């Protein structure tokens, strides 16, 4: 494409758009066989290193590998990696001396290929002779690599016990052993801390390791690799140093896994290990034991003994059913076992959904029971909504949505058809090759797991090879010409695998059926033709229809996500190849890689990038396939979203969505939300649920208009971006060879500028293309935009590409599905403020001063605005911007002195809090707990493979808080959280009055006819919110949070307390004026 | 009088110096700079303070090659300035510290008008961030004022720059100089400007390194040597530049080690004369950034083989390239001389049959220094 380097050519100038299908230079392959493709140089596989050592070995290894492949045919594919190891053993010993001589004479040998052939022949003979030996070796190896079942105990007494009992014939029954084990269990729940606090870094690393191991074991259980998990646990347990890293949840994971399978023997082994490790069984361990007994239909006395022991350990039988995250089936089996021992036992009823009500004075009217609950209903009848649910469900089960692009279809010339055919052939080939490569990778990872090394094996087993392959090919398809950083690509791939896995699990667990039943009942509340007796809000109704199961899918550690994605990216880079000349697909052609791993240097950092071969991009462009693929959670929903009931359940039917969005790896928000009383969140949950319940449709006439402009090269002035081909081009005439260096430099700058513009245009165009294609896809349909919030409580629609957030174009495309005629006040909406341009220059700065913008940033903002004014003399920009920012700051200082005092108080408090080692937290007037995720960067690096990746995360709570960000962030974040509270209050009160309401931060929408009502509600709520003693509440909260408990004796804390208690006076602004101000909301 | 001092331990030097320092100051006719507030030690500015050193430097700068226009950076007390003026050179002094300006101006008057003094930081000239810039750091306006003429690249030297390379932001400054010469911007707009800078010893060893001293061989070594003829002229101990130790004021050092490290190091006067044949048909001021990128990427794995690097630099067949530059396929990055890198670049750049020569893309570099 044109964005390729423009500077090249004989004089190093000018450009060439490179024509399609032009033959590439074919080099002789030399000794570098096609098999070894030049791309694999950076892989770290063992045979690769040998190749680097010398060429002789490479040749030989090729032979060996061919042999291995033959052998492999007789074996399961998983044995391959092992085979390679075995095959390499003979090479290392002394009997292979001829090879070493060859290696020494490398130069000579290279020239004489015939001699090589002879030697190869000889080698083959040797190989054949060795075949027998090799296979024997192999069997030996296989035996050695059998998964371990029996534990090796470190406690001699216990080990002797186990051994005696293993050997005794007839064996005493397992249940006897278990009872005995439980009886003499140590009374310790976890190991004492063996780390000194001083060594914080190594402690963190240690904890990360434990977290990874636990995630590995859990994933093994999910992927049905229980024996492997058991093997790994036994391996770790048998070494005293590694055993110390094992925790009770790890043993419990295994116990539960074996219990579900009804494998009593392995279960007892794990109990042996737990005892050996000195860990006391907890409720979950007992649940596993009982479940296993239930499955094996053990007699009542055994179970009774177990229950008795449990009671002696101080564990409550009832709690088995209330406080454990067990699935329905587990609970049923558990109940069966318990009933056997105690036939009269009744499991405690799941606690009825609490109808406790939020007590915040701001929400009193919303939750008062004096009046029936009121909210806008859907305008569709029950049957239609049911049908829509089925459609949405099938979309989410398919996990991806294919959408036709709105770009003009190309005329189907010979060239286009040929390109499509080529692409199709390539994809078919890649699919097979990727599947094979994945199998090999899995075999390697399985081997690593068996040897006790960290491994991705269970994660790779969660999805089928076919699904993984499809995922990789999709990634390849959307890779932009400039490429993408390996880190973000890996993270995205990893997250997609996780999301897909969650969706699949929900399907397997029969959750779909239950969901459908509950949802249909729920629809009675929303549908236009049904009534519900009880007067409830949608969330309350949903809660009344059943209990929400605890989320069982813990997110994987970020390192695992990235590692998994990186592994797949590596497979992609190493496997996907195309012929060097795409014009003729022949098998004899040399294959070149499609993806390249290159580096980019940005100041002092190096960033690894995966970049597609330009010829491949060209092929994609020629083929012009007009379809695009979206994840199902990126597309608006076809039925009303699930109501938000907890921090992790709501919005999409199956795809996991978080109530509070955050960067991957920051968990403190989720933890805080889960920790706070459920009623506190009601305001936020209801507001978000209602925002998502608004039905939308595409404004067809606007879409038609926009599409016409879009396909006629766009019109940036109207907000329809032009294609990158419309970007300004550098002047075309070639420079003379003797042009001055200065002229060349100018040209370089011009080229750089044009490239930059072209790239920006490309990304804008792509954004619009996604938006319009989705709009076209949803035309004639009703759809819903589920909402969630950021960490300050600001609300956002979840689907990223097509929503009401953004430019005028984005908003114009959407309209409320339930149309209502324009009311008498409708005209006011179209009113435009005048004198806008002159205000615009300084408005941004004035607004951001409140948020703590500095003089420097202010100057830049004004400079930018001034540059945008075409009639402003550009040579005065620098002076003028300086002058203006000085003026703005001076006048603001006078006007908002009390605001500045508040800001100073907030900043200082935040500084002292952060200095005391904690992140700033507060609770919004609506009850949402907020914590600022700004910490010092924690660096995690993942080495090995094509590149070691290092990622920084600023949200790691183990790190000290970043004082600068904490203090500078507090005032703006606090104000945003107030704004969002105001928005939610306005929303809830509008719903109370039956209005449709949506918002984008500080811009509220409703039907034109309802504007007057909304306006009034909006002002009332503003006044009510700010009549609260907001700062005093904040001060009280902060004092309690940071200055109580054992900390309070500290001198630093005393200083903080003093600061927190000196709440500044609020301004003398008469809030009632707001009610009458014309421009309060404009 | 100076020579034996250089060998003394820092503490002794301190004890011995006050008198001598004052003496030489009076000789130079400047006492004002004593009032300059002492800054943080590590950031303290260094100046040429020894008249002997100035005498040593003058012949390097004025050698009858037709260019007697010297741009002196941060002359401070003006000891070298004086020596240069006395030999009849034209000197433009760019001083970033206001305190020295009146003194320098009076010096100029005393010595007959061949000195221009300007309050300006040379290392902030022509920032690469293309934004609005203060007029005072625009080299175009500056040079116009002094009537400096542009000479073609193949011709002689229009201007010589002399000074001490800053330790603060050293790497950033080095990249700026390299970008300036390869793109023919800033001072290089006027032709092959010769630089005479004091660098710290390690950096100057790196500048001159090649496969013979692989431990010091870096991407920067290649870029320096391809652009310039790098010559070591003189080595001088660090202490003879330090204003604080010379004048007897001394703050408590932040840490003993860093101070000692610094004091024991020498500064090396390096002459950097741009090569006449730096630019060729294939390496130009338009595509030099690809050359930068290539070199940097190669040195990411310095002990790796070239053939392995080539695959992520260019889609052209690696064996083919190796054949053309007549290198063995076992050659490592560390074994290649700077000229080999230039040759490699030109070979790839001139390969005719390929429409796409590099995997590099403009967006991958942030050239703004």
Taking only the tens place, the pLDDT of each residue in B294-307 is: 999 899 888 889 98
Contact: A25, B354; criterion CB under 8 Å: yes
Q: Looking at the partner chain, which of A38, A603, A863 has a beta carbon nearest the beta carbon of B132?
A: A863
In-domain check, residue B192: yes
Tally of CB atoms within 10 A around A258: 26
- The contacts of residue A808 (CB under 8 Å, 6+ apart) are A719
Categorise residue A14: left if φ over 0, alpha if ψ from -120 to 50, beta otherwise: left
Residues of A in contact with B313 (CB under 8 A): 598
- The contacts of residue A628 (CB under 8 Å, 6+ apart) are A402, A403, A404, A405, A478, A770, A773
pLDDT at residue A157, as a whole number: 80
pLDDT band at A131 (very low <50, low <70, confident <90, very high): confident
Q: Which CATH code for domain A175-182+203-341?
A: 1.25.40
Which H helix or E strand runs over A525? helix A511-526
pLDDT at residue B261, as a whole number: 59
Contact: A596, B308; criterion CB under 8 Å: no
Residues of A in contact with B283 (CB under 8 A): 12
Contact: A5, B318; criterion CB under 8 Å: no
In this structure, are B145 and B192 located in the same domain? yes
In-domain check, residue B41: no
How far apart CA A227 and CA A213 sit, in angstroms, is 15
Closest residue on chain B to A741 (Cα): B184
Residues of B in contact with A594 (CB under 8 A): none
pLDDT band at A734 (very low <50, low <70, confident <90, very high): low
How far apart CA B318 and CA B321 sit, in angstroms, is 5
How far apart CA A657 and CA A650 sit, in angstroms, is 7
pLDDT band at A243 (very low <50, low <70, confident <90, very high): confident
pLDDT at residue A1076, as a whole number: 59
In this structure, are B237 and B293 located in the same domain? no
Which H helix or E strand runs over A62? helix A55-74
pLDDT at residue A892, as a whole number: 53
Q: Is the pLDDT of residue A421 over 70?
A: yes
The total number of residues written for chain A in this structure:
1082
**Cα distance from A5 to chain B (closest Cα, Å)?**
7
Chain A interface test: which of B310, B312, B342 (most A C-beta within 10 Å): B312
In-domain check, residue B281: no
Q: How is residue B365 annotated by DSSP?
A: B
**Cα distance from A575 to chain B (closest Cα, Å)?**
15
Q: Is the pLDDT of residue A70 over 70?
A: no
SS3 of residue A671 by DSSP:
helix
pLDDT at residue A597, as a whole number: 87
Chain B interface test: which of A3, A9, A10, A12 (most B C-beta within 10 Å): A12
In this structure, are B269 and B132 located in the same domain? yes
Q: How is residue A281 annotated by DSSP?
A: -
Would the pTM count as exceeding 0.90? no
Average pLDDT value for chain B:
78
Q: Looking at the partner chain, which of B286, B308, B354 has a beta carbon nearest the beta carbon of A13?
A: B286
Contact: B364, A600; criterion CB under 8 Å: yes
pLDDT at residue B220, as a whole number: 93
pLDDT at residue B20, as a whole number: 33
In this structure, are B130 and B221 located in the same domain? yes
pLDDT at residue B246, as a whole number: 54
In this structure, are B120 and B173 located in the same domain? yes
The distance from CA A489 to its chain's CA centroid, rounded to whole angstroms, is: 11
What average pLDDT does range A846-862 have in this prediction? 51
Bridge partners for A952 per DSSP:
A939
Closest residue on chain A to B130 (Cα): A749
Q: Is the pLDDT of residue A44 over 50?
A: no
Closest residue on chain A to B316 (Cα): A25
The 3-class secondary structure across A572-590, one letter per residue, is HHHHCEEECCCCCCCCCCC
Average pLDDT value for chain A:
76
Chain B interface test: which of A5, A28, A37, A610 (most B C-beta within 10 Å): A5
In this structure, are B77 and B170 located in the same domain? yes
Which H helix or E strand runs over A452? none
- Beta strands at B266-274 and B228-237: parallel, antiparallel or unpaired: antiparallel
Residues of A in contact with B153 (CB under 8 A): 741
In this structure, are B199 and B131 located in the same domain? yes
Tally of CB atoms within 10 A around A33: 11
**Cα distance from B106 to chain A (closest Cα, Å)?**
32
Q: Is the pLDDT of residue B200 over 50?
A: yes
Residues of A in contact with B360 (CB under 8 A): 5, 598
Contact: A744, B184; criterion CB under 8 Å: yes
Tokens of A664: 């991957």
How far apart CA A735 and CA A7 sit, in angstroms, is 11
Contact: B364, A601; criterion CB under 8 Å: yes
Contact: A878, B132; criterion CB under 8 Å: yes
pLDDT at residue A50, as a whole number: 37
Q: Is the pLDDT of residue B11 over 80?
A: no
How far apart CA A435 and CA A466 sit, in angstroms, is 7
Closest residue on chain B to A737 (Cα): B281
In-domain check, residue B40: no
What average pLDDT does range B173-182 have in this prediction? 91
Cβ(B74)–Cβ(B163) under 8 Å? yes
Closest residue on chain A to B355 (Cα): A18
Contacts 24+ apart (CB under 8 A), A1026-1030: A1026/A1071, A1027/A1071, A1028/A361, A1028/A362, A1028/A925, A1030/A925, A1030/A978
In this structure, are B129 and B181 located in the same domain? yes
Contact: A16, B355; criterion CB under 8 Å: yes
Contact: A27, B183; criterion CB under 8 Å: no
Among the residue ranges A132-136, A278-282, A494-498, B261-265, the one predicted with the least confidence is: B261-265
**Cα distance from B54 to chain A (closest Cα, Å)?**
35
**A–B CB contacts, 8 A cutoff, strictly below:** 147
Contact: A12, B320; criterion CB under 8 Å: no
Contact: A601, B183; criterion CB under 8 Å: no
* Angle, CA of B136, B141 and B145, to the nearest 5°: 105
Residue of B253, B244, B316, B46 lying closest to B163 (CA atoms)? B46
Select, from the ranges A562-576, A751-765, A1053-1067, the one with the highest average predicted confidence (pLDDT). Answer: A562-576
pLDDT in tens, A247-281: 899 999 999 999 988 888 888 889 888 888 888 88
SS3 of residue A320 by DSSP:
helix
Residue that finishes a domain, picked among B234, B252, B274 = B274
Longest dimension (CA), chain A: 101
Residues of A in contact with B296 (CB under 8 A): 599, 601
Q: Which residues of A1054-1076 are buried (b: 16+ CB within 10 A; e: fewer)?
A: eebbebbeebeeeeeeeeeebee
- The contacts of residue A285 (CB under 8 Å, 6+ apart) are A248, A251, A252, A255, A271, A274
Q: How is residue A410 annotated by DSSP?
A: P
CA separation, residue B183 to residues A677, A746, B118, B288 (Å): 64, 10, 26, 7
CATH at residue B303: 1.10.8
pLDDT band at A343 (very low <50, low <70, confident <90, very high): confident
Cβ(A973)–Cβ(A958) under 8 Å? no
Complex ipTM, two decimals? Answer: 0.71
In this structure, are B94 and B204 located in the same domain? yes
Chain A interface test: which of B322, B362, B366 (most A C-beta within 10 Å): B362
Q: Looking at the partner chain, which of A5, A600, A741 has a beta carbon nearest the beta carbon of B184?
A: A741
In this structure, are B115 and B227 located in the same domain? yes
The total number of residues written for chain B in this structure:
369
In this structure, are B268 and B156 located in the same domain? yes
Residues of B in contact with A42 (CB under 8 A): 308, 312
CA separation, residue A550 to residues A326, A395, A1082, B162 (Å): 9, 25, 44, 73
How far apart CA A232 and CA A324 sit, in angstroms, is 25
SS3 of residue A13 by DSSP:
coil
pLDDT band at A59 (very low <50, low <70, confident <90, very high): very low
Closest residue on chain B to A759 (Cα): B363
pLDDT in tens, B354-366: 667 887 766 555 5
**Domain ranges for chain A:** 175-182+203-341, 379-407+431-547+571-579+590-639, 698-784
Cβ(A3)–Cβ(A724) under 8 Å? yes
How far apart CA A432 and CA A575 sit, in angstroms, is 10
Select, from the ranges A153-167, A491-505, A897-911, the one with the highest average predicted confidence (pLDDT). Answer: A491-505
Cβ(A433)–Cβ(A425) under 8 Å? no
- Beta strands at A605-612 and A484-485: parallel, antiparallel or unpaired: antiparallel
Tokens of B20: 């001598």
Contact: A598, B359; criterion CB under 8 Å: yes
Catalytic residue among A404, A510, A529, A1002: A1002
**Cα distance from A596 to chain B (closest Cα, Å)?**
6
Tally of CB atoms within 10 A around B150: 14
How far apart CA B327 and CA B347 sit, in angstroms, is 12
Q: Looking at the partner chain, which of B287, B313, B323 has a beta carbon nearest the beta carbon of A12?
A: B287
How far apart CA A698 and CA A1051 sit, in angstroms, is 61
Residue B204, domain extent: 46-243+263-274
Q: Is the pLDDT of residue B338 over 80?
A: yes
- B48 in a known ligand binding site: yes
Chain B interface test: which of A13, A41, A611, A727 (most B C-beta within 10 Å): A41
Which H helix or E strand runs over A1005? strand A1003-1005
Contact: B286, A38; criterion CB under 8 Å: no
Say how many domains are in chain B: 2
Q: Which residues of A372-404 are buried (b: 16+ CB within 10 A; e: fewer)?
A: ebebbbbbbebebbbebbeebbebbeebbbebe
Catalytic (active site) residue A790: no
Closest residue on chain B to A946 (Cα): B312
How far apart CA B336 and CA A344 sit, in angstroms, is 86
**Cα distance from B355 to chain A (closest Cα, Å)?**
5
Q: Looking at the partner chain, which of A12, A52, A613 has a beta carbon nearest the beta carbon of B286?
A: A12
How far apart CA A391 and CA A385 sit, in angstroms, is 10
- B121 in a known ligand binding site: yes
- B68 in a known ligand binding site: no
SS3 of residue A156 by DSSP:
helix
In this structure, are B216 and B341 located in the same domain? no
Q: Is the peptide bond before A170 cis (omega within 30 degrees of 0)?
A: yes
How far apart CA A514 and CA A523 sit, in angstroms, is 14
CA separation, residue B173 to residues B72, B165, B170 (Å): 17, 9, 5
Contact: A25, B351; criterion CB under 8 Å: yes
CA separation, residue A1073 to residues A990, A1078, A1080 (Å): 22, 10, 10
């Amino acid at each position: 494409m044109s964005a390729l380097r423009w500077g090249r050519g004989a004089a190093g100038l000018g450009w060439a758009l490179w024509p399609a299908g032009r033959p590439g230079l074919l080099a002789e392959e030399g000794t570098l066989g096609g098999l070894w493709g030049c791309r694999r140089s950076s892989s770290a596989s063992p045979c690769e290193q040998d190749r680097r050592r010398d060429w002789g070995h490479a040749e030989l290894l090729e032979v060996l590998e061919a042999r291995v492949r033959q052998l492999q045919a007789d074996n399961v594919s998983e044995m391959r990696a092992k085979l390679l190891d075995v095959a390499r053993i003979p090479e290392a010993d002394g009997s292979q001396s001829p090879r070493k001589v060859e290696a020494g004479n490398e130069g000579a040998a290279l020239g004489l290929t015939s001699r090589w052939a002879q030697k190869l022949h000889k080698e083959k003979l040797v190989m054949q002779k060795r075949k027998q030996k090799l296979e024997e070796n192999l069997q030996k190896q296989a035996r050695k690599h059998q998964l371990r079942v029996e534990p090796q105990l470190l406690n001699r007494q216990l080990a002797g016990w186990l051994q005696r009992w293993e050997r005794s014939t007839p064996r005493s029954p397992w249940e006897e052993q278990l009872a005995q084990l439980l009886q003499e269990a140590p009374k310790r729940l976890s190991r004492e801390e063996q780390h000194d606090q001083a060594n914080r870094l190594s402690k963190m690393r240690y904890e990360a390791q434990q977290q990874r191991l636990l995630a590995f074991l859990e994933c093994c259980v999910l992927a049905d690799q229980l024996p492997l998990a058991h093997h790994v646990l036994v391996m770790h347990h048998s070494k005293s140093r590694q055993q110390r890293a094992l925790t009770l949840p790890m043993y419990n994971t295994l116990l539960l896994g074996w219990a579900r399978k009804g494998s009593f023997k392995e279960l007892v082994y794990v109990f042996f290990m737990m005892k050996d490790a000195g860990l006391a069984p907890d409720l979950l361990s007992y649940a596993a034991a009982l479940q296993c007994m239930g499955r094996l239909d053990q007699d009542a006395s055994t179970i009774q003994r177990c229950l008795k022991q449990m009671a002696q350990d101080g564990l409550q039988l009832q709690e088995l059913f209330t406080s454990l995250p067990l699935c329905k089936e587990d609970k049923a089996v558990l109940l069966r076992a318990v009933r056997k021992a105690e036939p009269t036992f009744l499991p405690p009823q799941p606690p009825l959904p609490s109808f406790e009500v939020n007590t915040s004075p701001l929400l009193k009217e919303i939750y008062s029971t004096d009046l029936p609950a009121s909210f806008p209903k859907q305008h569709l009848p029950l049957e239609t909504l049911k049908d829509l649910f089925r459609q949405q469900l099938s979309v989410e089960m398919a996990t991806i949505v294919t959408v036709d692009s709105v770009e003009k279809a190309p005329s189907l010339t010979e060239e286009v058809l040929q390109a499509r055919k080529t692409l199709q052939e390539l994809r078919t080939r890649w699919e097979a090759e990727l599947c094979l490569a994945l199998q090999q990778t899995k075999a390697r990872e399985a081997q690593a797991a068996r040897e006790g090394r960290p491994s991705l094996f269970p994660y790779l087993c969660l999805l089928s090879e076919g699904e993984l392959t499809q995922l990789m090919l999709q990634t390849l398809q959307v890779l932009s010409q400039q490429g993408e950083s390996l880190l973000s690509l890996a993270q995205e791939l990893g997250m997609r695998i996780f999301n897909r896995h969650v969706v699949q699990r929900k399907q397997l667990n029969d959750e779909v059926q239950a969901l459908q039943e509950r949802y249909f009942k729920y629809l009675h509340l929303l549908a236009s033709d049904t009534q519900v007796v009880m007067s409830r809000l949608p969330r309350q109704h949903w809660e009344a229809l059943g209990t929400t199961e605890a989320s069982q899918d813990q997110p994987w550690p970020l390192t695992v996500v990235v590692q998994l994605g990186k592994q797949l990216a590596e497979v992609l880079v190493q496997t996907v190849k195309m012929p060097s000349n795409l014009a003729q697909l022949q098998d004899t052609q040399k294959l070149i890689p499609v993806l390249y791993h290159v580096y980019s240097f940005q100041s002092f950092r190096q960033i690894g990038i995966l970049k597609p071969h330009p010829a491949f991009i060209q092929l994609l462009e020629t083929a012009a396939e007009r379809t695009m693929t979206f994840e199902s959670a990126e597309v608006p929903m076809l039925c009303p979203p699930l109501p938000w009931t907890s921090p992790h359940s709501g919005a999409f039917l199956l795809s996991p969505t978080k109530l509070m969005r955050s960067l991957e790896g920051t968990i403190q928000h989720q933890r805080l939300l889960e920790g706070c009383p459920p009623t506190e969140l009601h305001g936020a949950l209801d507001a978000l649920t209602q925002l998502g319940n608004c039905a939308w449709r595409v404004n067809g006439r606007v879409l038609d208009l926009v599409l016409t402009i879009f396909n006629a090269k766009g019109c940036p002035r109207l907000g329809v971006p032009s294609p990158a081909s419309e970007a300004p081009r550098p002047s075309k005439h070639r420079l003379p060879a003797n042009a001055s260096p200065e002229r060349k430099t100018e040209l370089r700058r011009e080229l750089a500028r044009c490239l930059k513009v072209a790239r920006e245009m490309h990304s804008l165009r792509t954004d619009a293309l996604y938006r319009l294609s989705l709009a076209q896809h949803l035309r004639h349909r009703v759809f819903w935009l589920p909402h969630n919030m950021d960490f300050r409580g600001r609300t956002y629609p979840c689907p990223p590409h097509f929503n009401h957030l953004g430019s005028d174009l984005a908003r114009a495309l959407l309209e409320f599905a339930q149309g209502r005629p324009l009311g008498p006040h409708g005209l006011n909406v179209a009113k435009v403020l005048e004198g806008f341009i002159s205000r615009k220059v300084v408005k941004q700065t004035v607004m951001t001063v409140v948020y703590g913008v500095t003089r420097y940033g202010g100057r830049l903002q004004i400079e930018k605005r001034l540059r945008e004014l075409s009639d402003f003399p550009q040579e005065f920009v620098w002076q003028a911007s300086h002058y203006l920012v000085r003026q703005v700051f001076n006048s603001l200082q006078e006007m908002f002195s009390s605001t500045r005092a508040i800001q100073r108080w907030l900043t200082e408090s935040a500084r002292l809090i952060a200095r005391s080692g904690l992140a700033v937290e507060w609770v919004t007037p609506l009850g949402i707990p907020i914590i600022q995720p700004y910490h010092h960067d924690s660096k995690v690096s993942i080495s090995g493979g094509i590149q070691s990746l290092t990622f920084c995360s600023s949200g790691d709570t183990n790190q000290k808080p970043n004082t600068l960000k904490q203090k500078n962030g507090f005032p703006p974040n606090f104000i945003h959280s107030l704004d969002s509270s105001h928005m939610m209050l306005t929303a809830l009160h509008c719903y109370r009055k039956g209005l449709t309401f949506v918002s984008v931060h500080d811009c509220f929408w409703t039907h034109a006819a309802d504007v007057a009502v909304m306006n009034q509600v909006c002002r009332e709520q503003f006044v009510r919110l700010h009549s609260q003693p907001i700062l005093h509440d904040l001060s009280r909260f902060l004092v309690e949070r940071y200055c109580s408990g054992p900390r309070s004796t500290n001198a630093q804390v005393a200083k903080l307390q003093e600061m927190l208690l000196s709440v500044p006076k609020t301004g003398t602004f008469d809030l009632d004026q707001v009610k009458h101000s014309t421009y309060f909301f404009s | 009088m100076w020579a034996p001092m250089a060998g003394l331990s820092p503490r002794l030097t301190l004890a011995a110096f006050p008198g001598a320092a004052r003496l030489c100051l009076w000789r130079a006719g400047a006492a004002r700079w004593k009032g300059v507030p002492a800054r943080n030690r590590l950031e303290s500015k260094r100046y040429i303070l020894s008249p002997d050193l100035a005498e040593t430097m003058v012949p390097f700068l004025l050698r009858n090659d037709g260019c007697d226009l010297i741009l002196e950076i941060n002359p401070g007390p003006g000891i070298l300035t004086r020596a240069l003026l006395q030999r009849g050179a034209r000197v433009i002094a760019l001083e970033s510290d206001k305190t020295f300006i009146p003194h320098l101006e009076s010096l100029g008057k005393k010595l007959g008008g061949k000195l221009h003094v300007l309050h300006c930081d040379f290392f902030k000239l022509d920032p690469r961030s293309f934004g609005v810039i203060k007029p005072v750091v625009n080299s175009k306006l500056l040079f116009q004022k002094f009537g400096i003429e542009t000479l073609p690249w193949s011709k002689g030297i229009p201007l010589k720059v002399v000074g001490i390379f800053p330790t603060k932001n050293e790497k950033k400054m080095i990249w700026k100089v390299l970008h300036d010469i390869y793109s023919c911007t800033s001072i290089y707009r006027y032709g092959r400007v010769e630089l005479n800078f004091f660098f710290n010893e390690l950096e100057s060893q790196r500048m001159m390194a090649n496969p013979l001293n692989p431990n010091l061989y870096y991407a920067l070594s290649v870029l320096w040597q391809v652009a310039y003829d790098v010559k070591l002229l003189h080595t001088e101990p660090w202490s003879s530049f330090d204003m604080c130790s010379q004048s007897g004021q001394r703050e408590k050092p932040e840490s003993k080690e860093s101070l000692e490290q610094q004091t024991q190091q020498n500064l090396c006067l390096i002459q950097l004369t741009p090569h006449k044949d730096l630019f060729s048909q294939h390496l130009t001021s338009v595509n030099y950034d690809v050359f930068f990128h290539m070199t940097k990427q190669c040195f990411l794995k310095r002990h790796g083989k070239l053939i392995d690097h080539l695959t992520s630099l260019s889609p052209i067949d690696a064996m083919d390239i190796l054949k053309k530059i007549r290198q063995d396929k076992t050659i490592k990055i560390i074994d290649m001389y700077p000229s080999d890198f230039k040759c490699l670049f030109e070979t790839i750049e001139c390969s005719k049959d390929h429409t796409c020569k590099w995997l590099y893309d403009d967006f991958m570099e942030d050239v703004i220094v």
